[in-house]
Amino acid sequence: MKKQESSSVKTSEDKENLMDKIVSFAKRRGFVFQSSEIYGGFASCYDYGPLGVELKNNIKRQWWKSMVQMRNDVVGLDASILMHPKIWEASGHIESFTDPLVDCKDCKKRFRADHLLEAKGLKPGYLKEKPEAFSEIKCPECGGELTSPRTFNLLMKTHVGPVEDEASISFLRGETCQGIYANFENVKESMRLKIPFGIAQIGKAFRNEITPGNFIFRMREFEQMEMQFFVHPKEAKKCFDYWKPLRMKWYQDLGVKKSNLKFREHGRDELAHYAKEAWDIEYKYPFGGFNELAGIHNRGDWDLSRHSKFSGKDLSYFDAETKEKFMPYIIETSDGADRATLVFLLDAYEEIKGGRTTTTESIKDVEVVLRLDKRLAPIKIAILPLSKKPELEKAAREIQEKLRGEYMTMYDVTGSIGKRYRRQDEIGTPYCITIDFESLEDKKVTVRDRDTMKQDRIALKELAEYFADKFKE
């Protein structure tokens, strides 16, 4: 069963095709599907398939673990998507949650004016400074003339209740953090928290994006992982400088290559209406290079002041020790679960020309290995009986039963063992267990490592301990 290893040759990274490859790979291997595909698809909405949901859940679990489970100063929350419409007035979203929209007068396509400026190397602030200069920019699709930019609100409207009138209008939340601000008092009181402390939340957000695209990079329905840290205004800068590198480290610790990540500070002219300081963590995507993956924002006292004003409830904080009353500043870390999924997929995807082994059965033009961190891999252990002989299948099923309480496993008995290894490599499974006829005699199995392809012969009674050690976090 052991295969002779050949020196593997990596293909040169074909960046331009990588995105197309990932999109078709994600569909073929059950990671991500276009929403409503049988009806021709529904623009910018995607469904996570059996392996995609595992990957995304693992990403969310790792985020929650690092932000909540491992800390004494952050607690969790799961607020509702629909909230009192006044929240969106207070937050400034009804007034300012807008993107500048332009239409092509010829081909009728719509674009974000700031994206067109960026593509020309101009800063977004240029639009405010010289609106007339926008006429120099032509449609990137057909070269046609564009309309003047007009603002377009990204909030998704809906009606709540049986009557569809002005009074029943509400919004699908445009960001998860507003549910945190609205619950600041509830959480503080119920958990007896003292500032500084944070509240973390994972959940869906909705934006009527003008130009969604690039697969799950920009969707109209997506998931955010946000944490709001409430601090004394004098501590805000220190707190910001503490969280900023931590968020970068999280991506790097989970395997994203350092060379594909960088920080970018928002210029004064692109800061959101609430922000005092903002940095993006950017990833080098195959489309258009470095672009936003996550953000760290100093939101000042904007949110709690505005909610105090609009709700009539004073959300300022009283420090019993210093007797000081103040409006807390908020340091926000904001990550997208879908963008993170895309980044982990892109970064882990590796093609190897000619395959990694020299047996004829596995020689192919290109072999794919998804080098996901073990913590993120959708399937942790594949169980592969060498043949369909009942005695082997019985032994294999027993092994699966022992492991599945702890690990996500997959049972596969079809095709040659080489092909089955390839299938698991392609979806990022870190370990495969092969049960052969010898296993029935010596009560040992072969465990193969995805990355090194090294094979260990492990006694059945030591298997649980062996994997506990391999998956130790």
Dihedral sign of CA atoms 173, 177, 180, 184 in order:
negative
Q: How far apart are CA 385 and CA 417, in angstroms?
A: 9
Q: Is 380 a binder of ligand ATP (CB under 6 A)? A: no
293 or 381: CB nearest ligand ATP: 293
Binding mask 175-204 for ligand ATP (x = CB under 6 A): x-----------------------------
Nearest approach, Cβ of residue 294 and ligand ATP (Å): 5
Element (H, E) at 59: helix 50-64
Q: How far apart are CA 58 and CA 291, in angstroms?
A: 23
Q: Is 219 a binder of ligand ATP (CB under 6 A)? A: yes
Listed ranges 21-29, 165-173, 287-295, 452-460: which one lies at the site for ligand ATP (CB under 6 A): 287-295
State the number of binding residues for ligand ATP (CB under 6 A): 16
Nearest approach, Cβ of residue 86 and ligand ATP (Å): 21
CB within 8 Å of 51: residues ≥ 6 apart: 29, 30, 31, 378, 379, 427
Q: Is 93 a binder of ligand ATP (CB under 6 A)? A: no
Give yes or no for a contact between 374 and 431, defined as CB atoms under 8 angstroms apart.
no
Cα–Cα distances in Å, from 340 out to 56, 108, 426? 8, 32, 19
Q: Which of 77, 239, 248, 294 binds ligand ATP (CB under 6 A)?
A: 294
Q: Is 153 a binder of ligand ATP (CB under 6 A)? A: no
Q: Which of 185, 235, 292, 438 binds ligand ATP (CB under 6 A)?
A: 292
63 or 317: CB nearest ligand ATP: 63
Q: Is 247 a binder of ligand ATP (CB under 6 A)? A: no
Q: Which of 222, 285, 302, 421 binds ligand ATP (CB under 6 A)?
A: 222
Q: Is 118 a binder of ligand ATP (CB under 6 A)? A: no
Q: How far apart are CA 1 and CA 418, in angstroms?
A: 9
Nearest approach, Cβ of residue 330 and ligand ATP (Å): 14
Q: Is 434 a binder of ligand ATP (CB under 6 A)? A: no
| Closest residue to bound ligand ATP by CB | 336
Phi, psi of 432, deg, nearest 5: -120, 135
The DSSP string of 80-115 is -SB--THHHHHTTHHHH-EEEEEEBTTT--EEEHHH
202 or 463: CB nearest ligand ATP: 202
218 or 356: CB nearest ligand ATP: 218
**Rule CB under 6 A: which of 334-353 touch ligand ATP?**
334-336, 338-339
Query: Token pair of 92, please?
Result: 């400034």
Evaluate the omega torsion of the peptide bond into residue 196 and state whether it is cis, within 30 degrees of 0.
yes
**Rule CB under 6 A: which of 128-147 touch ligand ATP?**
none
Q: Is 209 a binder of ligand ATP (CB under 6 A)? A: yes
Give the largest Cα separation in the chain, rounded.
82
Listed ranges 84-92, 161-169, 288-296, 394-402: which one lies at the site for ligand ATP (CB under 6 A): 288-296
Q: Say what angle helices 390-403 and 463-470 make with each other, to 10 degrees.
A: 50
Nearest approach, Cβ of residue 463 and ligand ATP (Å): 39
Q: Which of 93, 173, 188, 207 binds ligand ATP (CB under 6 A)?
A: 207
Buried b (16+ CB within 10 A) or exposed e, 34-67: bbeeeeeeeebebebbebbebbbebbbebbbebb
Strand bridging mode 431-435 / 381-385:
parallel
Q: How far apart are CA 77 and CA 227, in angstroms?
A: 10
Listed ranges 29-37, 73-81, 218-226, 437-445: which one lies at the site for ligand ATP (CB under 6 A): 218-226
Listed ranges 160-168, 291-299, 350-358, 445-453: which one lies at the site for ligand ATP (CB under 6 A): 291-299
Dihedral sign of CA atoms 242, 247, 252, 255 in order:
positive
Phi, psi of 377, deg, nearest 5: -55, 135
Binding mask 308-337 for ligand ATP (x = CB under 6 A): --------------------------xxx-
Look at residues 332, 129, 341 and name the one whose alpha carbon lies nearest to residue 244: 332
Query: Token pair of 412, please?
Result: 């596969």
Nearest approach, Cβ of residue 427 and ligand ATP (Å): 23
Residues constituting the chain? 473
334 or 357: CB nearest ligand ATP: 334
Binding mask 223-242 for ligand ATP (x = CB under 6 A): -x------------------
Q: What residues line the site for ligand ATP (CB under 6 A)?
A: 175, 207, 209, 218-219, 222, 224, 292-295, 334-336, 338-339
